[in-house]
Structure 1
């Protein structure tokens, strides 16, 4: 390898997604979930990308944004409520400063939180007043990030009737094009869910590339691969590298020095502790020490860069060519779940090129020649077991059956003929919201399972209510649909006739 040749290529892919939460509760799940992720992940990650764009950097990372998340970040109600939430955060930091006076570490934490809240308010008021779409469009237009889209409400596609699957995917791509002026050429398939033959639907919808988990490619993720007989390309997550940061059992965010996500000072609504130890009770955890966390972060940036370089060298020796490493994560990991995550992200993206690694997007990896031969993919996901068990297992068997029945009723829906019917459009929206993959995930993982079951049931009932009014020819159908749209109105362009 000459001095000018890169060690290989690295792609960071971030998947930004939350289900539709507006008007459906606040704490501990519901809107609070949205506002925490917005403040602690979406604001700092987009700020990082903007600073990279200002420096003239291009193709830094691949950013997936699901249509249902984009809809919330553009929604007038959510914008107003988030602005109020940021103001409340600032007030809570001032209250913490008064309560924690006399404790050096906690007083410093309160001051840091105040600065963070104030900075977030200024950023939001200055750049986000008209929603997320103008912010994201500027990043995509600058070329600093490649955009990935997805189906409308993030359904688990392998369990969908092909007609519903196509409708949701085409609607999602259209939604992104309407918001940003760009129709994504790639998607992050919800939960990386795949069933053999789905590539044909992707090709028909204009999707050129998508993500799968590493085991789908039997661990050979060193190049992108065309799928089946199509020219649609899949990229596999390199789990050896990806899991250094976050795996089902370990990863950097669990280090004792980092800020603990789960421990709250409920009197001020802030997180004052560091992880300390996996089995330490919240009351016994040590106070958060930013200096200690910063030292640890520096070590973890170096460890990750060393891991990527070592992996690329190993792959080059094995395959006789420069290879590709794709690491992919939920955007919400950086800042929301892992307080230090945005700083780690910036450190890694700056350090990798200095270590001789080409950092680019999925599109850039193809342009660099990282394309292998065709592959037949198995039924798969990025969930437990890398199969479908999280979304169609025994724990959610009733939900799977209810969704299958709902799809049949959806496809039988009277959709309005020659003229759009807003009642039919809203019924379709409610059905799609009921089929969000998040609900089954939350039940299987026993994470706010009651909330997830309630959400799936509520949207199914709303669909059936409007559908019954439509079948009866009732003039009340439109009035009821309008009332529901005030709560569940993420996609004004959804046209039931397209089913």
Structure 2
């Protein structure tokens, strides 16, 4: 299960967290991950993953400004690589040659597959049967803290956005931040959502089956932390291995990333040059470790519950390539290796269809953030944002009601009020404050 999301970044500056964030993720994650999925589809693989694309990201992948700017960004990447390739420094020359090859490949991918936007790519993956596409609310709000009226509107219109872009109606969603409050299951049912994601602790760690929520037939699937943290743990996850490329260290003359992780506590200026020849053996080791752990987990969980169990390994798409340079290669190898050891790979929709569903459960208020509660989005550090968001939403809805009273046509001012309100209450802003990431 992969969840693809970025907040709206177009026309909000470049470095460090404006449009640059979009183009880095596009070049490093979306291009190679989609290439992996196309390769799997071409080789006859089906039902390989549930792939979430948030409406706010889909809009940027289709936006003419973002498309032309992405092309410019790729060309700039290639120019920076050429500058490095003629450096007097041997390590920088090697970096330049390596990055030139990577940028040339990315430009070829973009020119061949992406020049008309992301929607044709996403639609082709849907048609190939290699993915189940998951939708979501319009602008990734933290739903439990949202006025129920705006929450229902955001979900309904987010699903409508998927239909308008891809002529496809998602049966499932990745709920933003896996956030839940009791009663939302009925809103999901009313909107036509049949399954959604929560974090494992929401189901008390019992993630071996999906669970209908309350008195509805809406199924919650829980992320298996035992498996997912094999990759994602900041302390012991695979991306932190010394041989992999370091995400945080830049060569500031070229903006390229020259170093390997080297060690967890090694300062950036002491990290050693990245050496691709070190990667293959480490990558194969991590593929085998993950595949073996998934198989053992499935066997143990099936024995525990007395019936075939499932394991949901869930990650942000941007982990693969953007944060973890070698991630797309790892993903490709894992998906091809799992069937070889007897593991059936599938989607959430396929799990539901094939009966991997247990008894109903009453879900608590929860998220996948720190503490598995809401503290990241409503804790002491962001109370000013919680209050501000409530005031913005109340003012916006009151104003829209007044403007639309008796109106017979669409009102562009009302549209813009709602649009900017949704952008304001995105979950990303309090997350960035709580985590001190900007």
The residue number in structure 2 matching 1:475 is none
Task: Pick the aligned partner of 1:189 from 147, 169, 175.
Answer: 175
User: Which of 190, 199, 220 matches 1:234?
Assistant: 220
Find 1:427's aligned residue among 417, 420, 429. Answer: 417
Measure how far apart 1:111 and its partner are: 2.0
- CA deviation vs aligned residue, 1:399-435 (integer Å, no higher than 9, x gap): 0011111111122123432111111111110111000
Whether 1:388 aligns to 2:378 is: no
Residue number among 396, 404, 408 corresponding to 1:410 in the alignment: 396
How far apart are 1:247 and its partner, in Å?
2.1
Give the superposition deviation at 1:100: 5.5
In 1, distance between residues paired with 2:421 and 2:251?
39
Runs ≥4 in structure 1, deviation > 3 angstroms?
100-103, 106-109
User: After the TM superposition, which residues 171-250 of structure 1 pair with which residues of structure 2 at under 5 Å, given as runs?
Assistant: 171-250=157-236
> How does 1:356-367 map onto structure 2 within 5 Å?
356-367=342-353
Is the counterpart of residue 118 in structure 1 residue 104 in structure 2? yes
Distance across 1 between alignment mates of 2:135 and 2:220: 15
Corresponding residue for residue 54 of structure 2:
66
Residue aligning to 1:29: 17
Per the TM alignment, residue 331 of structure 1 is displaced from its structure 2 partner at its CA by: 0.2
Identify the match of residue 156 of structure 1 among 119, 142, 147.
142
With normalisation by structure 1, the TM-score equals: 0.86
Task: Give the match for residue 296 of structure 2.
Answer: 310
After TM superposition, give the deviation of residue 119 of structure 1 in Å. Answer: 1.0
Structure 2 equivalent of residue 127 of structure 1: 113
Q: Does 1:251 align with 2:241?
A: no
Q: Give the aligned partner of residue 376 of structure 1.
A: 362
Distance in 1 (CA, whole Å) between partners of 2:230 and 2:118 is 31
TM-score (norm 2): 0.98
Which one is further off, 378-387 or 249-258? 249-258
The total of aligned residue pairs comes to 434
- List per-residue Cα deviations over 1:298-317 (Å, max 9, x = no partner): 10000000110111111122
Question: Distance between the aligned counterparts of 1:113 and 1:295, measured in 2?
Answer: 22
* Aligned Cα root-mean-square deviation (Å): 1.0
Residue 49 (1) aligns with residue 48 (2): no
1:260 correspondence with 2:223: no
Q: SS in structure 1 opposite 2:133?
A: strand
Separation of aligned partners in 1, 2:156 and 2:233: 32
Say which SS state the counterpart of residue 197 (structure 2) adopts.
strand
Which of 437, 440, 445 is residue 427 of structure 2 equivalent to?
Answer: 437
Q: Displacement of 1:109 after TM fit?
A: 3.3
Q: Shift in Å at residue 183 of structure 1?
A: 1.3
Identify unmatched segments of 5+ residues in structure 2. none
**Unaligned segments of structure 1, at least 5 residues:** 1-12, 449-499
Which residue of the other structure, out of 60, 66, 75, is the alignment partner of 1:87?
A: 75
